[in-house]
């Protein structure tokens, strides 16, 4: 049924016999409405379902689904699993990260400790693939055995606060933060002095989340001053800095960089891993033209990167090569300690090869 659906989507876009497609193969309406992106996902899915190997089999594969396609009872199960992670104790040494009180804090730290190395580096895409797998594994231990849900942000670029994932109901991940007026624009600085900082107007929240299942959740770690810690783990932000969950849903970023057209152009307009990597992580002058990642900041998912098959790596082992470091190769390793062991990058290329991955996006 899933393969048939993918084929029908290809027929709708006029691509049932033209694989792989090019951007010019799609009509503008198909690109802007998301039909083209669905067709591309159908192609990726069809290819993935013929490449099972190792411990990954059709009966074991996890299907990562868009939030809207998950039933409300199942959304509640997912939320319960997240709360389960939040209730489990931290496994980190207290002297190392004293603010980590829960397993959820551990997962936050697993990302923060590597931020100065993996972002804008050759391990960016595969680290985050491994990181999301780590979260998915912990959710499974808490009763959520399906794939990690994702958000198709292209459907909500004009109003993310209206999305069912943020509508504040008991089947959402909570509502927007309390609106705080007269706030200054949000600035995203860059270490590269030749790249201007990104300015985004304030969104529709800014304060503590007041509705939904995570109203009482307390954030403990951070903030982390990443710009002063490259390439080592951040020293600040490790303590117990208890505060409310703050959210400021903002259409400025996703409307500007993460529309269906942006995502489709990212996938079809990248001829090799160099182009894809540069476009995806918004480096240098690509920010205004095809940058996509900065539309994701504060949001959910790296789902679109699975369509563009990662078959190689590009870049060095440090943020913007600061300080200078060797080029990354597929023999290099990354980890999500202490919850996942080191893995060579070549082990993380396929999502259906088993050891460790067995998932697809639908």
Q: Give the span between the Cα atoms of 203 and 185, in whole angstroms.
A: 9
Check whether 5 has a pLDDT greater than 70. Answer: no
Write down the pLDDT at residue 178: 96
Residue 241: its pLDDT value, please? 96
pLDDT at residue 255, as a whole number: 84
Give the class (CATH, top level) of 37-361: mainly alpha
Domain ranges of the chain: 37-361
Q: In percent, how much of the chain has pLDDT > 90?
A: 54
Q: Tell me the C-alpha distance between 163 and 326, whole Å.
A: 43
Q: What pLDDT does 309 receive?
A: 58
Cα separations in angstroms, 70 against 59, 196, 223: 20, 40, 33
- Lowest pLDDT segment from 135-139, 164-168, 194-198, 314-318: 194-198
Q: Residue 278 — φ and ψ, nearest 5°?
A: -65, -45
The predicted model gives 23-38 an average pLDDT of 90
DSSP H helices in the chain: 2-12, 28-33, 35-48, 72-87, 103-112, 115-118, 124-141, 251-257, 260-268, 273-281, 286-289
Q: Check whether 236 has a pLDDT greater than 50.
A: yes
pLDDT number for residue 71? 98
Nearest 5°: the CA angle 53, 56, 57 is 90
Q: What is the mean pLDDT of the chain?
A: 83
- pLDDT, tens digit, 9 for 90 and up, residues 60-100: 999 999 999 999 999 999 999 999 999 999 999 999 999 99
Q: What whole-number distance in Å separates Cα of residue 70 and Cα of residue 257?
A: 26
Two structure tokens written together for 23: 């951007």
Q: What is the pTM of this model?
A: 0.87
- 36 burial type by CB count under 10 A (0-12 exposed, 13-18 middle, 19+ buried): buried
Residue 317 DSSP SS3 = coil
Least confident range of 84-93, 107-116, 224-233: 224-233
Tokens 């996942």 belong to residue? 340
In angstroms, rounded to a whole number, what is the distance separating the alpha carbons of residues 105 and 109?
Answer: 6
pLDDT in tens, 116-148: 788 888 888 899 999 999 999 999 999 999 999
Q: What is the mean pLDDT of residues 331-342?
A: 91
């Amino acid at each position: 049924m899933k393969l048939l659906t993918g084929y029908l989507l290809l027929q709708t876009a006029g691509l049932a016999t033209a694989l792989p497609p090019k951007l010019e193969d799609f009509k503008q309406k198909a690109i802007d409405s998301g039909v083209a992106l669905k067709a591309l996902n159908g192609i990726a899915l069809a290819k993935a379902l013929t490449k099972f190997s190792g411990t990954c089999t059709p009966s074991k594969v996890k299907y990562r689904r868009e939030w809207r396609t998950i039933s409300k009872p199942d959304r509640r199960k997912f939320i319960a699993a997240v709360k389960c992670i939040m209730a489990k104790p931290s496994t980190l040494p207290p002297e190392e990260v004293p603010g980590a009180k829960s397993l959820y804090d551990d997962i936050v730290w697993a990302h923060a400790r590597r931020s100065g190395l993996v972002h804008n580096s050759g391990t960016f895409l595969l680290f985050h693939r491994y990181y999301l797998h780590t979260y998915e594994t912990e959710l499974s231990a808490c009763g959520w055995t399906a794939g990690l849900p994702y958000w198709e942000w292209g459907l909500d670029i004009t109003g993310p606060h209206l999305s069912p994932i943020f509508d504040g109901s008991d089947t959402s991940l909570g509502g927007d933060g309390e609106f705080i007026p007269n706030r200054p624009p949000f600035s995203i600085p860059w270490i590269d002095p030749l790249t201007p900082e990104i300015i985004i107007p304030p969104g529709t929240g800014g304060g503590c989340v007041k509705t939904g299942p995570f109203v009482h959740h307390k954030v403990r770690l951070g903030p982390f001053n990443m710009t002063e810690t490259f390439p080592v783990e951040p020293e600040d932000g490790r303590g117990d800095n208890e505060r409310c969950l703050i959210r400021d849903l903002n259409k400025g970023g996703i409307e500007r960089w993460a529309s269906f057209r942006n995502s489709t152009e990212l996938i079809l307009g990248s001829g090799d891993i160099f182009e894809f990597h540069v476009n995806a992580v918004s480096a240098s002058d690509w920010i205004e033209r095809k940058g996509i990642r900065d539309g994701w900041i504060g949001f959910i998912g790296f789902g679109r990167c699975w369509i563009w098959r990662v078959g190689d790596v590009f870049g060095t082992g440090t943020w913007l090569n600061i300080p200078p470091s060797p080029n990354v190769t597929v023999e290099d390793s990354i980890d999500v300690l202490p919850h996942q062991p080191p893995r060579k990058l070549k082990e993380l290329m396929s999502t259906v090869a088993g050891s460790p991955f067995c998932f697809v996006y639908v």
